[in-house]
Amino acid sequence: MPKLETQIAIVGAGPSGLMLSHLLHLHGIHSVVVEDRAREYCETRIRAGVLEQGSVDLLRRSGVADRLEKEAMFHRGIEIGFNRRRHRIPMYDLTQGKCVTVYGQHEVVKDLIARRIADGGDIYFDSSAVSIHSIEGPHPLVRFEHAGRSYELAAEYIAGCDGFHGVCRPSIPPGILQCFERIYPFGWLGMLAEAAPSSDELIYMHHDRGFALFSMRSPQLTRLYLQCSPEEDISLWSDDRIWDELFLRFECDDGWRPIRGPILQKGITGMRSFVVEPMQYGRLFLAGDSAHIVPPTGAKGMNLAMADVAVLADAFHSYYCSGYSDALDRYSAICLRRVWKAQRFSWWMTSLLHRFDDQNEFDHRRQLAELDYVTSSQAAATSLAENYVGLPMEQ
């Protein structure tokens, strides 16, 4: 069996695993990434699209933002719509010059993979039977199969960056982690359409038929979402039905509507809020979706993943410079403070904008009053804006 050695074994080549590997490399710390999917799959998986100011600053500071500077779209506001009218939240003005950046998660992943490979990084794509061992002791191990051979990777620490369905979190013995969870009674039908975005900014639309979101990926590609049942049968959604529903939900008095085009890709996502505490056990550190999930309404998931690994990379740096593990010991507590604030915001945006089946007329009126408040009070709009552009990395 080939034996490999590294300082940090990273399971998962999503935004968290790749960014961690990149930041560790900049600190002179060796890592090996083990990923169960093919490189092409990771580079084309359409997911998040909104980067907070802090995530973009981190990409810039660490030298992986060249393509982002050329291709991303920088947004200074978002629109919130209800009762056939849209209202702009001027985030840039309300946050002393912060904005969000629209740049597909798969583009971030592409840039990070290219950079890791250019820097001589080791990423084992297409691995199978990935498992982690001996996380309580000083010599943890990752075992996996790759290209028909079995590997054993000895490390000093393991980073579980393998998403919500990965193997790392379930490898922690029962009784150690506390899980906090809420599952929502709806999902999102997400579409990528070959059509020029007909608005320069994102539109979050409340509607009696359910929430709708207008976003984009490029000057030629519109990204759209519709609230649907979590068990929705996607085969029942023809292109005509999708566009009819989008036009209904976005219909406003000013006549604005998205530009129609062929649907290139569609999929359904369930929605949950989930946190484990602590985000560490023995020599295993969990980061990103392996430790927490947010409903996508606040656009926070990828950004939380970036913030976690920024803290983790600094903690490893401090450990390898000083020999003291106090920064590593604080990792979970530092991340969880920010994670819970993002949970709160994502839950709030979700409750504000979605239709709940058990909603009575009181709840409906209260929801409309809250939308009216958020879009007419500078104090309320400022709170939304400062959370949407992202709280400081270590808060």
Output DSSP code: residue 36: S
Please confirm, yes or no, whether 225 is among the known catalytic residues.
no
Residues 6+ apart with CB under 8 A from 80: 86, 87, 89, 203, 204, 205, 206, 353, 371, 374, 375
Please confirm, yes or no, whether 278 is among the known catalytic residues.
no
- By CB under 6 A, which span of 92-100, 228-236, 294-302, 359-367 interacts with ligand FAD? 294-302
Please confirm, yes or no, whether 300 is among the known catalytic residues.
yes
Q: How far apart are CA 292 and CA 228, in angstroms?
A: 23
Any idea how long the chain is? 395
Q: Compare residues 15 and 258 and give the one whose CB is closer to ligand FAD.
A: 15
**Which residue of 23, 50, 65, 73 would you call a contact of ligand DHB, by CB under 6 A?**
50
Q: Compare residues 95 and 105 and give the one whose CB is closer to ligand FAD.
A: 105
Residue 46: other Cβ atoms inside 10 A: 18
Catalytic residue among 25, 75, 106, 206: 75
Q: Which SS3 state, helix, strand or coil, does residue 204 take? A: strand
**Residues 38-77: x/- map of binding to ligand FAD (CB under 6 A)?**
----x----xxxx---------------------------
Catalytic residue among 92, 151, 204, 331: 204
- 312 sits near ligand FAD (criterion: CB under 6 A): no
Output DSSP code: residue 258: P
**Which residue of 297, 332, 367, 375 would you call a contact of ligand DHB, by CB under 6 A?**
297
Q: How far apart are CA 204 and CA 198, in angstroms?
A: 14
Residues 6+ apart with CB under 8 A from 376: 87
Smallest separation, CB 288 to ligand FAD (Å) = 2
Smallest separation, CB 364 to ligand FAD (Å) = 26
Q: Which SS3 state, helix, strand or coil, does residue 210 take? A: coil
Partner from ligand FAD, ligand DHB, none binding residue 14, C-beta < 5-8 Å depending on class: ligand FAD
Please confirm, yes or no, whether 296 is among the known catalytic residues.
yes
**What's CA 234's distance to the chain center, in Å?**
23
Q: Which two tokens stand for residue 73?
A: 């779209």
- The number of CA neighbours under 13 Å toward the Cβ of 41 is 10
Residues near ligand DHB (CB under 6 A) are: 48-50, 202, 213, 215, 223, 296-297, 299
Which positions are annotated as active-site residues? 75, 204, 296, 300, 388
Residues near ligand FAD (CB under 6 A) are: 11-17, 34-37, 42, 47-50, 105, 130, 161-163, 166-167, 190, 269, 288-289, 296, 299-303, 305
